[in-house]
């Protein structure tokens, strides 16, 4: 009961925080006093309502969502695989680590421009989302593996616990907090990189293309509306993926 009250209390503060920033947004718009430069919340909501009635709006969201999430899932799969292999092989770890550091240090814009030489623009967001997420997943999962309690591993060796059970009951619980944190951070980077790739590559029927057109034709309300859509989808996809990870974790433990 106490936990429920705390959750409700926290939710009230979150709602108040949202209204506070909307008020700040409205005040800033009034101070600028030029909708073309800084659209008000009400103008953006009107623009968003108008966009939802267009077929291209939903098609663009579907295409961008599919490609960016696909890049994210591919990064998870390869990141976990490389982390597990690196944990068991120090030579492979020393080979892979500089590559991950290089990817992390390279600006997103550089990746996009270089990738355009090799990849068609319609697949660019998949590649960029994948590359931006891969080092985060790899580094955190590897850190989680190295952080596994050595006493638990000793006990498993003494009692000759099978490898699958060792993975399920020792390694997965140890790695999971690192993996959840990496997924949360990685998904945010994933959306930023993916949309940036679309804005530069301009694939047909994508959120990036709609953003670019809104900017070119000085449709500030639509530019803000599409930005809100990106934030909303990013938050929702993060919650869905984290929820899915929790369900898988509960099924394994």
pLDDT, tens only, 195-250: 999 999 889 999 999 999 998 988 889 999 999 999 999 889 888 888 888 887 77
Which fold, 55-252?
Answer: MetI-like fold (1.10.3720)
3-state helix, strand, coil in the chain (%, to 5): 85, 0, 15
* Residue 226 CB partners (closer than 8 Å, separation 6+): 51, 207, 210, 211, 214
* C-alpha torsion angle, residues 48, 190, 200, 62 (rounded to 10): -50
CA dist list (Å): 248 to 141, 172, 176, 234? 16, 11, 11, 21
User: What tokens appear for 216 in the block?
Assistant: 């070119």
Which sign does the torsion angle of CA 25, 27, 28, 34 carry?
positive
**What distance in Å separates the CA atoms of residue 176 and residue 252, rounded to the nearest whole number?**
11
- Does 1 have pLDDT greater than 70? no
Amino acid 51: pLDDT: 93
**What distance in Å separates the CA atoms of residue 1 and residue 18, rounded to the nearest whole number?**
26
* C-alpha torsion angle, residues 107, 110, 112, 114 (rounded to 10): -150
140 with 181: CB under 8 angstroms? yes
- Tracing tokens 């718009």 back to the chain, one arrives at 29
pLDDT, tens only, 121-162: 888 999 999 999 999 999 999 999 998 888 888 888 778 888
- Does 2 have pLDDT greater than 70? no
């Amino acid at each position: 009961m106490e936990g429920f009250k705390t959750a409700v209390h926290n939710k009230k503060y979150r709602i108040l925080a949202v209204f506070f920033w909307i008020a700040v947004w409205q005040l800033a718009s009034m101070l600028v006093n030029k909708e073309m430069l800084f659209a008000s919340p009400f103008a953006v909501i009107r623009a968003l309502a108008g966009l939802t009635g267009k077929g291209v709006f939903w098609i663009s969201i579907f295409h961008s969502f599919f490609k960016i999430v696909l890049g994210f899932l591919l990064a998870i799969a390869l990141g976990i695989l490389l982390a597990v292999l690196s944990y068991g092989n120090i030579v492979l770890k020393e080979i892979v680590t500089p590559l991950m550091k290089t990817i992390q240090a390279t600006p997103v814009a550089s990746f996009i421009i270089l990738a355009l030489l090799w990849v068609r623009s319609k697949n660019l967001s998949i590649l960029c989302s994948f590359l931006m997420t891969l080092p985060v997943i790899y580094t955190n999962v590897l850190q989680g593996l190295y952080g596994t309690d050595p006493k638990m591993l000793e006990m498993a060796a003494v009692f000759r616990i099978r490898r699958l059970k060792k993975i399920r009951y020792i390694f997965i619980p140890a790695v999971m907090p690192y993996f959840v944190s990496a997924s949360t951070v990685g998904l945010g980077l994933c959306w930023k990189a993916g949309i940036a790739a679309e804005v530069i590559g301009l694939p047909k029927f994508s959120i990036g293309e709609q953003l670019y057109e809104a900017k070119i034709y000085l449709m500030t309300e639509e530019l803000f509306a599409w930005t809100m859509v990106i934030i909303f989808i990013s938050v929702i996809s993060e919650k869905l993926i984290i929820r899915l990870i929790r369900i898988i974790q509960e099924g394994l433990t």
